[in-house]
Amino acid sequence: MSDRHTISLNVNGADYSCEIDARMTLADCLREKLDLTGTHLGCEHGVCGACTVLADGDAVRSCLMFAVQAQGMEITTVEGLANNGDLSPLQEAFRDNHALQCGFCTPGMLTTAEAFLTENPSPTRAETESAISGNLCRCTGYISIVDAILDAADQRRDAGSK
């Protein structure tokens, strides 16, 4: 074992194999090697949340994981949230509630919200605010994002799924 590794990754249900430096972060591997550029880099020190992906269903900072650590995990990025090109109820709720402007924080908001709603399908407003307190947004002022997540929770419950 050394500084270069050949790894297999499972991302959005598909298997990939790539050869990378040990030091390549999961975020960079997704963006550069797998061409999944929906996951964004906003700080590279674990504060802004723009790089959030799901690892075995848990929201994690992909800038703080090395790609080599993600082997054997099921990774979900923003590209994996839509259903065959149809926006998910969460994505629709973001659109309907104007929960994005520049869109740069949005992938991280969506993955974080996805994990949150899966664990807490009927959240309060305060719980929702807390759930995304680790995701920075400079454009919206957050209120429409919280509205969107609560709206999506309603939609998901009505649809009786997830």
Partner 1 sequence: MKPSKFNYYAADSIDAAISLIAQQGEDARFLAGGQSLVPMMNFRVAAPAALIDLNGVPELSDVRIDDDGALHIGAMTRTRRLETDSEIANANPLIAVAAAYVAHTQIRNRGTIGGSLAHADPAAELPGIALVCDAEIHLRGPSGARVIKAAKFFDGVFTTTLADGELIEKLYFPPWPEQRRWAFQEISRREGDFALVGIAAWFDMDASGAISDCRLAAIGAGDTPLLLDSAARTLTGSAPSEALFEKAAETVAGDIAPFDDIHASADYRREVAAVLVARTLKTAWERRR
Partner 2 sequence: MTRTYIGKPVTRLEDRRLLTGAGSYIDDVKLPGMSTMAILRSPYAHARIRSIDLEAARAMEGVIDAFCAADLDAQLPVIPLRLAPFDGFERFLQRPIAVDKVRYVGEPVAVVIAEDRYVAEDALELIDVEFDPLTAITTVEQAAGGATLIHEAAGENMGTRYTVARGNADAAFDDAAYTRRERFVTNRHGAVPMETRGLIAEFDPEAPLLRLHGATKVNFFNRRHLAAAFDLPETSVELIETDVGGGFGARGELYPEDYLVPIASRRTGGPVKWIEDRRENLTATNHSRDIVCELEIAATAEGEILGMRATVQGDMGAYVRTNGGVVPSKAAQFLPGPYRVPSFSCDVQFLVTNKTPVGTFRGPGRFEANFCRERMLDMMADDLGIDPAELRRRNLMTPEDLPYRIGELVPGDPDATLDRGNYPAALERLLNECAYADWNPGAETDDGRVRGMGIACFIESSAAGPPESARITVFSNGGVEIRTGASSVGQGTETGLAQICAEFLDIDMNRIDVLHGSTTLVETGGGTFHSRNTVMAGNATRIAAESLKDRATELAALRWNCDANDLSYDDGAVHRDSDRLTLQELAAFAETRGETLSADALFDNEKQISYSYGAHAAAVALDIATGVVKVERYWLTEEIGRALNPAMVQGQAVGGVIQGLGGTFLDHFVYDNDGQLLTGSFADYLLPTTSELPEITAIALEDSPSEFNPMGFKGAGEGGIVAVAAAVGNAVARTLKPYGISINELPITPDRLRKALRDAGN
Binding partner of residue 76 among partner 2, partner 1, none, CB under 5 to 8 Å per kind?
none
Smallest separation (angstroms) from partner 2 to the CB of 154: 18
Residues 34-73 that bind partner 2 (CB under 8 A): 35-45, 47-48, 50
HEC profile of the chain: CCCEEEEEEEECCEEEEEEEECCCEHHHHHHHHCCCCCCCCCCCCCCCCCCEEEECCEEEEHHHCEHHHHCCCEEECHHHCCECCECCHHHHHHHHCCCCCCCCCHHHHHHHHHHHHHHCCCCCHHHHHHHCCCCCCCCCCCHHHHHHHHHHHHHHHHHCCC
Does residue 132 bind partner 2 (CB under 8 A)?
yes
Write out the residues near partner 1 by the rule CB under 8 A: 1-3, 5, 21-23, 25, 28, 44-46, 49, 52, 55, 58-61, 63-66, 68-69, 112, 115-116, 130-131, 133-135
Question: Taking a C-beta distance cutoff of 8 angstroms, is the pair 18, 33 a contact?
Answer: yes
Binding partner of residue 60 among partner 2, partner 1, none, CB under 5 to 8 Å per kind?
partner 1
Smallest separation (angstroms) from partner 2 to the CB of 102: 2
Residues 90-109 that bind partner 2 (CB under 8 A): 91, 94-96, 98, 100-107
Residues forming contacts to partner 2 in the complex (CB under 8 A) are 21, 23-24, 31-32, 35-45, 47-48, 50, 77-79, 81-82, 87, 91, 94-96, 98, 100-107, 110, 129-130, 132-144, 146
